[in-house]
Amino acid sequence: MTKAELTCPKCGHKQETNIPESGCLAYYKCDSCQKINAAPEGICCIICAYSDSMCPVSTKG
Ligand SMILES: [Zn+2]
Better-scored residue on pLDDT, 43 or 23: 43
Q: What pLDDT is recorded for position 20?
A: 83
Gap from CA of 30 to ligand 1 centroid (Å): 5
Q: What pLDDT is recorded for position 60?
A: 64
Q: What pLDDT is recorded for position 37?
A: 97
Gap from CA of 23 to ligand 1 centroid (Å): 24
> Measured between alpha carbons, how far is residue 1 from residues 11, 14, 25, 34 in Å?
27, 19, 15, 25
Summarize pLDDT for 45-61 with one digit per residue, the tens.
999 999 998 887 776 65
Annotated domain spans of the chain: 3-56
Residue 9 above 80 pLDDT? yes
